[in-house]
Amino acid sequence: MPVLLRIAVRNLRQHSSKSLIIGIIMAVGVMILVVGNTLINTIDTGIERSFIDNYTGNIMITGETKNDLSLFGVRSPSGLEETPTIPDFEMIKNHLDEIPGIVSAANQITGFGIINIEKVDEDKGPYMGLLFGIEPEQYREMFSNTIISEGHFLAPGEEGILMSRSNVDTMNEIFELNPGVGVGDKILITAPGSAGFKIREVEIKGIYTLEHESEAAGYISYIDAQTLRVMKGMNLGNQGEVELSDEETSLLSDDSFDAMFEVDAFTGEAELDFEMTEDNLFSILDLDSAGDEAVINVEDMFSEDDAGAVDTEVPAESFTWEYILLKTENQRSAARIISELNIWFADNGISATAQDWKAAAGPFSTTADVIRIVFNIAIILVAIVAIIIMTNTLVINVVERTAEIGTMRALGAHKGFIRRMVTTEVFTISVIFGFIGMLVGVFVLVIVGWIGFEATNPFLEILFAGPILKPVYSASSVFGSWVTVIIIGMIANIYPLRLALKVQPIKAMMSE
């Protein structure tokens, strides 16, 4: 054992009471940090999983906007900015198929609707609903947290709405319905769109509950995408570019239409580009003369070639979406994919952007940040109090050892030796009692996990990452807490160390 360490251990034994006070403060500090950091990690994990598993995924792709955009729309000062549709949707989807690390994808449209029921009195209601327009198969494959308690999930191509149990109960309470609405009943939804308000009657196809609660997820109603497109007045026309030949373009010139019916300036009669004879007229109908009969072959009108062309045509609305949600293998791969996508969008001139789950969750994702800030403030206050107490205790310790330190100086000990000796003592206390506090903190977490505190409300279920609190701690946070307390001990030692270095040899002779 080095000389300094032996001296430090001996001094700590001689001043055991003060050493114990400092050690207990450090042990309690480490325990608080271990438990606190672990609970923060648990809350972070719980909130993250509740959003990602329920409705945001790891990545959200949207069209570009000037203001912040979440799954609930654009957060603009006026609140009137419309959510843009994703440009070059098919091109983006094809590119996503080539990116490794993407587990699943789902398309979505978001809207808000005022829900009314035709059979209730006018003075009751209405109820505001949050609507997610989805493709049922891909959405349920990506988000499997919904449990159908009544009815069924939306089928592909089926019109209807799927509401949460909490939504239905709230709606029945507002409209004072007994018996309340349920599967098979129809509701009226009034939604604002680009051309004003539109009303649609929609049938409730199913009622769901959540396997794991999530903030805002219980307010979501899932509706078929086509119905929501109609209510929002989204443009369902062909969004691609049409290529025309030179001959076809010439027909669209400004003077082409007028030239067909050009009027003579002197006679005032229209001059046609062709002679309107009987034979010319019937040539339009593919007849040899006026004596022939026009025969229309119905089979030719609906030939197999034409029918095949119609069947293979992809509806324009299949590419009209506001969001693409992605689930990735983990959050690290999500960060990489977001960076790659944004670079690819810029290189290809696509006005789209990829963001993480926090941007998708919008204002609801701030819960974890608020809790973390509050905890960090509390930790800072505790650290300040601990530093003050430890500093005072160490100062008293130095004052009581004035004669000892003065004698060592008189015997030839340099200031460097005194500095190393005092620092070694504080470091030894920090390491030993910090380790004890770390073990106590881990033991407390094991007990908490073994007892399994139940979440008494949905908010706690979100924070606990499930119905029962199971602390999620990592080696980095545990050892990080230990290192933090050692650093706090070194900071608390600064002022007492300066006092120790000022002790002169004469002090040893002046002491009793």
> Each residue of 343-396: pLDDT tens digit?
999 999 999 999 999 889 887 777 767 877 887 788 788 878 878 887 887 788
Q: Which pLDDT value is given to residue 195?
A: 65
For 365, which DSSP code? G
Q: Is the pLDDT of residue 134 over 90?
A: yes
pLDDT at residue 49 tops 90 = no
219 band by pLDDT with thresholds 50, 70 and 90: confident
- Write down the pLDDT at residue 439: 92
Q: What is the pLDDT of residue 246?
A: 61
Which of 100-109, 202-211, 406-415, 479-488 has the lowest average pLDDT?
Answer: 406-415
Radius of gyration of the chain (CA): 38
Whether the predicted pLDDT of 424 surpasses 90: no
Q: Is 354 left (phi over 0), alpha (psi -120 to 50) or beta?
A: beta
Look at residue 301 in the predicted model and tell me its pLDDT. 43
Q: What is the 3-state secondary structure (H, E, C) of 293-362?
A: CCCCCHHHHCCHHHHHHHHHCCCHHHHCCCEEEEEECCHHHHHHHHHHHHHHHHHCCCCEEEEEHHHHHH
Percentage of the chain beyond pLDDT 70 is 75
Residue 251 has pLDDT above 70, yes or no: no
- pLDDT tens, position by position, 263-308: 444 444 444 444 544 454 444 444 454 455 445 454 444 444 444 4
Locate the DSSP E strands across 101-216.
102-116, 127-134, 146-151, 161-164, 186-193, 196-210
Band the pLDDT of 323: cuts 50, 70, 90: very high
Contact (CB, 8 A) for 189 and 202: yes
Say how far apart CA 97 and CA 334 lie, in whole Å: 15
Both tokens of residue 454?
Answer: 């139940």
Confidence at residue 121, expressed as pLDDT on a 0 to 100 scale: 63
How much is the mean pLDDT over the chain? 78
Q: Are strands 196-210 and 146-151 parallel, antiparallel or unpaired?
A: antiparallel
At residue 161, the pLDDT reads 94
C-beta atoms surrounding 19 within 10 Å: 21
